[in-house]
Chain A
Amino acid sequence: MMLGQLRVIYSAFRLAMLHWIADPQWVIPNVIAPFVFTFVALTLFKGAGGPFGLYAVLGGGMMGMWGNTLYSSGFAIEFEKWQGTLEDVMATPSHLLHVIAGKSISNALFGLTNMVAILVIASLIFRVDLGVASPVLFAVSIVLTLLSVSALGLIFASAFVLSRYTQVFANGLEFPIYVISGSMFPIALLPFWIHPASYILGPTWGIEAVRIATAESIVPTVFWVNLSIMVVITFIYVLLAGFLFSKVETKARRDGSLVEA
């Protein structure tokens, strides 16, 4: 990648970090939903033993990570609109995709802190044993899942350029993704016609890989198969986001619909 493009990504990343530092209260809404869902699941699982506690805590942690990353990446364009800076960003010679990618990476970092917060809170309050059988595989699967969710967020972000209705969809899609990806239960429980939707979501494979990495009897082949499928899906997300960005950017410039969208 060209040095100039990296500089754009870094600048967008830095600016997003500064925005967050200036207004850190937003960590509360980002953490509250996953925390509540984890609390409810752990209360329902109380006394069940077995893998239930781990399902709830890991699922909650992943939700903390996904919710923030997916929502914030998609919301990156809308935020520029609110601040009245989208036109300025579009007027620069930098590619919009690189600007949003920088923001997405910063959101992913916050997502990671959300996950840690959920894991710590849940394990302290509910005393769930968070023994991780393979810390290395666990870390690898977490980071790659985070990138996969960021890439999914980029697709949403491209749609934000065209329409403000995407905000409604991004809000409304958070919970369905928690359901479809089987964040706190095996996807085998979902109706069979939902399974294709589950399989095209990177997080579905990511959470499975994370669960395998924590299990005492790790099956490396299954772990790597899950992770590889997720990487392929993520790659497709990035290609799709790149294609969509070039299309919507041109359309918004041509139609002059950037601000009214």
Chain B
Amino acid sequence: MSIIRVFLSSAIFSFKAQFGWLYPPMWLTMKLVMSLSQMAFFVFVAQFLITTGHSAGPDLVAYIAVGNAMSVLSWNTVFSVINITSHDKWDGTLQLVLATPANRLPLFVGRAMLHVFDGMISVIIGLAYAALLFGVNFGNANILLLFAVVFLTAVAMAGFGLLIGGLSFYYRDPLVFANIFTFILLIFCGVNFPVQELPQLLQPISYIFPLTYGVEAGRKTVAGASLAEIAPLIGQMMIVGITSIVLGYFFFTTFERLARKTGSLESV
């Protein structure tokens, strides 16, 4: 029971600490703008190719629109989750959190959970833009399955955010990591072009990011794939996501142990 309480408290307070000051209408406005602008940028880059006869057309637009709709959750599950560590350090709450006797696993995992739902809202907004503004056809999609894919991708990506957030405890300004890891996903995860377009040397890196599997599963689901067809992708994504959480937890607990032993909690 206390594990659930710690998990929920951690989820609520971590989210409130970051966004409690933001009016809901402002929060929603930013969501609407962010989801659209990233997608629109790459769609117009694609349309530049299409209108000059260098690309086939609608397929590329749909590819990019769905890819960006899925990837927009990285702002919530990677950028914001890594930034929890930043806020803990800036606001001086890290010491208070580590002084509690609370079980560390639900404390650590819980802090990312509301960002999962926040990320899902971003993706839903992005998919709506893809359909309404860029003409992506959702007629063949199993919408329930698409929701499940979005949810699991958000969970796995939050795991990745926790991993980098765990590593960031050792660094003074985790915000730098948050920026780097949010953006490089656009290169490695098949968001705007297939992973196979990357130089061969870089391609293996793509598969350490859960988003690579999530984006592909999302695209297949939109195209009408069944659960059986995307199950291998989802399975691989969850293995990567859970491994990320375990590694992140290891870094977090190791940091705590070291900081207690050396008395360096505030100086890191």
Chain A nearest CB from B122 CB (Å) reads: 13
Q: Once the chains bind, are A179 and B40 in contact (CB under 8 Å)? A: yes
A44 CA to B197 CA in the complex, in Å? 9
The listed residue with most B CB atoms (<10 A of its CB), out of A45, A50, A172, A190, is: A172
Known contacts A176-B37, A179-B37, A179-B44; is-contact A28 B52 (Cβ 8 Å): no
Identity of the chain B residue whose Cβ is nearest the Cβ of A32 in the assembled complex: B183
Residues of B within 8 A of A39 (CB): 187
- How would you classify the secondary structure of chain A's contact residues: helix, strand, loop or mixed? helix
Chain A nearest CB from B182 CB (Å) reads: 9
A173 CA to B44 CA in the complex, in Å? 17
Residues of A within 8 A of B47 (CB): 185, 189
A44 CA to B41 CA in the complex, in Å? 13
Q: Once the chains bind, are B48 and A168 in contact (CB under 8 Å)? A: no
Residues of B within 8 A of A172 (CB): 29-30, 33-34, 37
- A186 is an interface residue with CB less than 8 A from chain B: yes
A30 CA to B40 CA in the complex, in Å? 21
Q: Once the chains bind, are B44 and A168 in contact (CB under 8 Å)? A: no
Q: How large is the interface on A (under 10, 10 to 19, 20 to 34, 35 or more residues)?
A: 35 or more
A213 CA to B33 CA in the complex, in Å? 33
- A85 is an interface residue with CB less than 8 A from chain B: no
Chain B nearest CB from A190 CB (Å) reads: 7
A28 CA to B30 CA in the complex, in Å? 24
Residues of A within 8 A of B54 (CB): 45, 48, 52
Q: Once the chains bind, are A29 and B176 in contact (CB under 8 Å)? A: yes
Encoded as 1 (CB less than 8 Å from any B CB) or 0, chain A from 37 to 48 comes to 101110111101
A200 CA to B49 CA in the complex, in Å? 26
Count of B residues near A, CB < 8 Å? 36
Residues of B within 8 A of A224 (CB): none
- Which of A33, A48, A168, A179 contacts B49, CB < 8 Å? A48
- B51 is an interface residue with CB less than 8 A from chain A: yes
- How would you classify the secondary structure of chain B's contact residues: helix, strand, loop or mixed? helix
A23 CA to B30 CA in the complex, in Å? 29
Tell me the B156-186 residues at the A interface (CB within 8 Å): 173, 175-176, 179-180, 183-184, 186
A8 CA to B184 CA in the complex, in Å? 40
Q: Once the chains bind, are A185 and B44 in contact (CB under 8 Å)? A: yes
Known contacts A25-B173, A32-B180, A172-B30; is-contact A190 B187 (Cβ 8 Å): no
Residues on B lying within 8 angstroms of A by beta carbon are 21-23, 26, 29-30, 33-34, 37-38, 40-42, 44-49, 51-52, 54, 173, 175-176, 179-180, 183-184, 186-187, 191-193, 197-198
22 contacts between A and B (CB under 8 A): A28-B180, A29-B175, A32-B184, A33-B179, A37-B41, A40-B187, A43-B192, A43-B193, A43-B198, A44-B45, A44-B193, A55-B48, A165-B23, A168-B26, A172-B29, A173-B33, A175-B38, A179-B40, A184-B44, A184-B48, A186-B48, A189-B51
- Contacts A28-B179, A178-B41, A189-B48 known; 17 new A-B pairs at CB < 8 A: A28-B176, A28-B180, A29-B179, A32-B180, A32-B183, A33-B183, A40-B45, A40-B187, A40-B191, A44-B46, A44-B193, A48-B54, A52-B54, A172-B34, A175-B37, A176-B33, A179-B44
Residues on A lying within 8 angstroms of B by beta carbon are 23, 25-26, 28-29, 32-33, 36-37, 39-41, 43-46, 48, 50, 52, 55, 164-165, 168, 171-173, 175-176, 178-179, 184-186, 189-190
